[in-house]
Amino acid sequence: MSNYRDRDIEKIQLRQWTEIRREWRNYVPDHESPWPVPENEVSELPTFKLILDNLGGPEGRDSTIEEEIVGLRTSALQESVILIHKAGNVLRAAAEEGGHGYRTWSRSTAYHAAFFAMRGVLGLMGVTVFRSRTRNKDFQVDIWAPKDKKNKPLPTESRFAVRIICCRRNVQHKEMWHRFSRVLRVTEIDDTIWPLFERNPLKAMYPGDFSRVRHQIHYRSAGWRFNDLDSLAVKDDFSTLADHVAKLTHLNTPEVDDFPASLALYTMSMGVALIADLGKDIPKLKAEAERAMQWMSDSPWKTANALTLI
């Protein structure tokens, strides 16, 4: 990791998946599978708006709320699961592009699949970031923040608080990936869910490296990756992608052409693995994990969770 530093990110504290998993049981949406795309953003919840409006001004920029914010965690879970499904949809679109010879642009599309998956994994771990309604503030929200140890929760209350921070800097893609790396570093999770997690190269990656290939394609005249401006003769549908992910191939080398797709499937696999683990006790989550697997069974690499191949 470089000297790039964001002190707001450092306030994301240790989290144990076993504890988060136990808490999610109390916040499952009423929807039957397939879950719909949310009608509103999490930040648009009426129970949340007043709290957000008071942050960043006289009330301060960092607030820990121990009372239940009605609807917040349920909305966060629904959004996180849908983001994983979006990632799968977009990754298959990338494979379609590559399979028709549009190899360069397929890497840009694959990066956006990775970005959706990353946000989904963050949400399942309890961290979300969004812009205010007036678009002049960004907020970092940790819905599994520690409570004051002096206050013991009632039996019907969560053991966790919600910590909301009005961010010091605008949160763009680089800042989001920095949060992702931070969450990976402070998470304790069984290796049966995320195999080879200790070797995960994304924990220490420089935040700007995640989008390096995509940025070169978008913003550099010399950044076009393949000779496909005049010929679509060479096809590439990512058929070996699952094998590469299972071996952590390309995830250490963010400058190579195959990094965005490997990042996308690897990060999506992390999210599907979390949903499937929740599904062991929650039928509605089991159905959502199966939904993701069914969608990817028609992809060239055949799986939504390449971690099962390890």
The 3-state DSSP class for residue 68 equals coil
The per-residue pLDDT for 1 is: 47
What's the average pLDDT block by block, 10 residues per block, for the chain (310 residues)? 74 96 97 95 85 68 90 97 98 98 98 98 96 78 88 74 89 95 97 94 95 97 96 97 94 96 98 98 98 98 97
The per-residue pLDDT for 134 is: 63
Do 181 and 207 contact (CB within 8 A), yes or no? yes
The answer for residues whose C-beta is within 8 angstroms of residue 295's C-beta and 6 or more apart is: 85, 88, 89, 92, 304
Strand partners, 131: 138
Token duo for residue 93: 């679109």
Strand partners, 225: none
Phi, psi of 160 (to 5 degrees): -120, 155
The DSSP letter of residue 238 is -
Residue with tokens 């599994």: 144
Residue with tokens 């820990």: 64
Phi, psi of 60 (to 5 degrees): 100, 175
The structure's pTM equals 0.95
- Sheet with 138-146, strands from edge to edge, namely 62-65, 160-166, 138-146, 127-131
The domain limits of the chain are 9-309
The per-residue pLDDT for 206 is: 95
Q: How many CA atoms lie within 13 A of 277 on its CB side?
A: 24
Strand partners, 162: 65
Query: Is the Cα torsion angle 86, 186, 41, 57 positive or negative in sign?
Result: negative
The CB density around residue 85, as the number of other CB atoms within 10 Å, is 24
Where on the phi/psi map is residue 154: left (φ > 0), alpha (ψ -120 to 50), or beta?
beta
The per-residue pLDDT for 6 is: 83
Do 64 and 204 contact (CB within 8 A), yes or no? no
Look at residues 267, 266, 283, 285 and name the one whose alpha carbon lies nearest to residue 275: 285
Give the burial class of 229: count Cβ atoms within 10 A of its Cβ; 0-12 exposed, 13-18 middle, 19 or more buried: exposed
The per-residue pLDDT for 168 is: 80
β-pairing, 138-146 with 127-131? antiparallel
Look at residues 214, 189, 212, 166 and name the one whose alpha carbon lies nearest to residue 273: 189
Q: What does 174-231 look like in DSSP terms, one character per residue?
A: HHHHHHHHHHHHHEE--TTTSTTGGG-GGGG--GGGTTHHHHHHHH-TT---SS-SS-
The per-residue pLDDT for 136 is: 74
d(CA 113, CA 62): 31
